[in-house]
Structure formats: C-alpha cells, structure tokens
Amino acid sequence: MTMTEATTSQPGIKRFIGMDWNIGALKSADRRYWSFVALLGILITLGVMAWILVMTKGGTVMAQRDGFTWGIWFANYMFYVGLAAGGLVVYASVHLFGAEQFRPLARLAVLMAGCLTMIAVLGDLTDLVRVWRIYWFALTPNLSAIFVYTGSAAGIYMVICFVDLWILITGKGGEKLAYRMTLIALPLAIYLHTTTAFVLALNKSRELWSTAVMVPIFLTSAVASGVALLLIVAYIMQRFHVLEFKPSMFRSLSTLLATVMIFDLFLLVAEIAFVYWPSSAKIGHTLRFSEFLTGPYAGIFLPVLILGGTAFALLSRRKTRHIPAVQVTASALYVVAIFFKRYTLMSMGFAIGTLGQPQAPYFPSLVEGLLALGLLALAVLFVTLAAKVLPLRVPEHEHGEEVGAPHAVASGDPALESGAAL
C-alpha cells in the first residue's frame, strides 16, 4: 500500500496548500447540483441572519431561559460531536487496525468528522450570544468548568481532522504520519466524548444526568450514529458517482453498526431498569424519568426506543443485512433516534428544576431553529463542495492488501519509516 503526492496534470485543477483543487468540476456541474447548493445557501443566509439577531437582540429571541438554560444548540453539540466519532472509527480502523475494507471511505470519513465538529463548535459559540466573549473564555478559563475541556477538545479535534484530511489527500508524511496522527486523534476523540458526557454527568443537582453510565452510553451512541451517518453519506456519494465502494465494505459497516447498536440499546435499557428497580428506585429519579416515559417528553423519548429497536431489528437478520435499502433505512432510523436521544438528554436535566419545580417543555424558537439549520447546511455545503473539488476518491493503488502495515511501522519497517514507499 502506498500513498502518493497530488499532481496538477489536468486542466481546471489548481494546486493550493499541496492539494489539487478541481475547480473545473464546479463549472461542469449540472443544474441539480447548483440547485442543491442554492438551497443550502438560503438556509445558511437565514442562519447567519438568525445569528445576527441573537447578537443584537440578545437571548430574548431564544426559548432557552432560566429553566432551560441550554437549548437546541447543546443537543446538536452532543449530536454532532457524536456523529464525528463515526469518521474516527473508520479512520482508526484503517490506519491503526489495518481494516483495509474501509480505506476507500477514509477521506470522506475524516472530512465529515471535521465538518461536524466545526458546526458543533460554532453552535457552542452561538450560546455565548455576544460571541466576542470567547476571547475571555480563552484568556481566563475557569479550570473547574468542564466546558473548558470539552470546548477546547472539540476545537483541537476539528483542526486535527482537517490536518488528517490534508495528510490523506496529499500523502505527505506517508502512512507513517497517518498512523501517528491516528495515535493522537484516537485518544483525543475519546477525551472529547468523555468530557462532553462529563458536562452532564458532573452535574450533581441534575439527577438524571448524574450517572456513571453517561460516558459509556455517550460513546456507544456516538459511534453507532456516526457509523450510521457515514454509511448513508457513502451511499449518496456512490449514487452520484463521486466515490465507489465494494458491497463488502457496506456489509462490514452495517455489521459494525448492528454490534454497536445493541450495546447502545442495552446500556439505555439498563439505565431505565436501574431507575425503576423497586429496591433501589429513588423518588426523584423515577418521578423525573416518568416525565419521559409517560409525561410531556414521551413524544421525544419513546421514539429513541422505537426507532432504535426497529433499526437493530432490520440489521439483525443476516439474510437481509446486505440489502442497501435495509442498511440505509436502519441507519437513517438510528441517526434520527440518536438526535431524539440527544434532545431528550438535554431535556432530562431541565425538565424538573433543581428545586423540584417542573418546567414548561422546551421547544426552540424560530431564530434558534433556523440558526441550527443554517449551521447544518454549512456542514453539508462543505461536504457538497468537497465532493466536487477535493480528491476524496482514494487512488486504486492505495487500496493495499497489507493488512498489518501500520503495525509494520511500529515494528520499524524501513520502507515505511523512511516514507520511501510513498
């Protein structure tokens, strides 16, 4: 397996920061492509206007208030950071564990991880209202606040994802550097997801958040939803002839997805059983959780169980697991389920206040909703443009069969150590 440096032999291709940017592809793009870009442009414009409103009018344009101090941005922060995990799983599988079947997906996976983390961080910034206060956040951080750690980790992780993408595309540093970057990115990703879960779990006064199972449940949800989204995007890329994948890759991905799904669902059911177990149930916990099973929040929590269970049921049958429609449907159901889960998770801490008073259920205002949509559209626009402009397709000669190659680096393979094979 080798990684080659980019070249600029074709017309319409510009070379910038060591990468080939196929600007000519945009000129030859069809009307459907530009219609979709226009759609994203409208949503981004509405989102930017919403953000300006937040900055000029203040929190009054948002439905998050004293009772619900965090809103849709935080649900999305957890959701996007989790989705980014899918990219890392694939990237690490290739470069750390030699899962060669995922190699054609590596560039797309890292690009998606970077874009998703970017909008997670941007959403975080919108909550500051006066966004320039980030200066003080960076200059005088409150080291006992967990947001300092998760926020900075998200920022660093985003940079690392884009650097990883650059390394994968340019081939600079070769397999050796890609392997070393994985060694940095993997623990950083675990750190990011753990600290994000800690944002909730360390709140002792919010009973449903304060649970030790929060970190593992967060990680499993993140990996499952991330892999599910990656699978969907891979199918879309294949549908529009941007990338090509073997059916065996989708089969491996869906098997991985089903495995993580069942762990995720198991942890969720175990948590519910713990809350309601007669000999250990605490009034505060059961009262709060009942809000989500039978109360006003049931509409957003029960879909987590129903959609999640359905998705797993679809993928659990070995005979039908390889069918693309089954894979895409199950993945879409699970991504939606995890969004509901993140929204529920955010609501769980606020549904009943710390003094015991129930809060009116939170629903994002128009400004919040369009701000969130605008950020999502921004990430989709990045991926849409990259699909045309960037060489996301991994060259055929890089589809190596040397499954143990990364380990060869560790064992001092001279070819890889020197980068001569690149």
Under the rule (CB under 8 A), what is the footprint of other proteins? 32, 35-36, 38-39, 42-43, 45-46, 49-50, 53, 57, 60-63, 65, 67, 283, 287, 295-296, 355-363, 365-367, 370
Residue number, 57 or 130, with CB nearest to other proteins: 57
Closest CA to 176 of 420, 391, 361, 419: 419
- Quote the CA–CA distance of 197 and 209 in Å, as a whole number: 9
Residue number, 122 or 367, with CB nearest to other proteins: 367
- Quote the CA–CA distance of 11 and 31 in Å, as a whole number: 22
- Quote the CA–CA distance of 179 and 167 in Å, as a whole number: 11
CB of 353 to other proteins, least distance (A): 8
Residue number, 313 or 366, with CB nearest to other proteins: 366
Give every CB contact of residue 377 below 8 A, 6+ residues apart in sequence.
39, 40, 43, 44, 47
Structure tokens at 385: 């443009």
Residue number, 356 or 412, with CB nearest to other proteins: 356
Angle made by CA atoms 297, 303, 305, in degrees to the nearest 5: 110
CB of 361 to other proteins, least distance (A): 8
Q: Which residue has the tokens 């065996």?
A: 248
- Quote the CA–CA distance of 164 and 171 in Å, as a whole number: 10
Q: In whole angstroms, how far apart are CA 132 and each of 125, 128, 375?
A: 9, 8, 18
CB of 35 to other proteins, least distance (A): 5
Residue number, 67 or 141, with CB nearest to other proteins: 67
Residue number, 34 or 266, with CB nearest to other proteins: 34
Residue number, 44 or 92, with CB nearest to other proteins: 44
Angle made by CA atoms 199, 202, 207, in degrees to the nearest 5: 105
Residue number, 35 or 411, with CB nearest to other proteins: 35
Task: Kindly state the DSSP code that residue 323 receives in the 8-state scheme.
Answer: -
- Quote the CA–CA distance of 246 and 102 in Å, as a whole number: 10
Q: Which residue has the tokens 């429609």?
A: 325
For residue 22, the cross-strand partners are 13
CB of 360 to other proteins, least distance (A): 4
CB of 235 to other proteins, least distance (A): 14
**Cβ proximity of 115 and 87 under 8 Å:** no
CB of 327 to other proteins, least distance (A): 19
Rg of the chain's alpha carbons, rounded to an integer? Answer: 22
**Cβ proximity of 70 and 64 under 8 Å:** yes
Residue number, 44 or 311, with CB nearest to other proteins: 44
CB of 367 to other proteins, least distance (A): 6
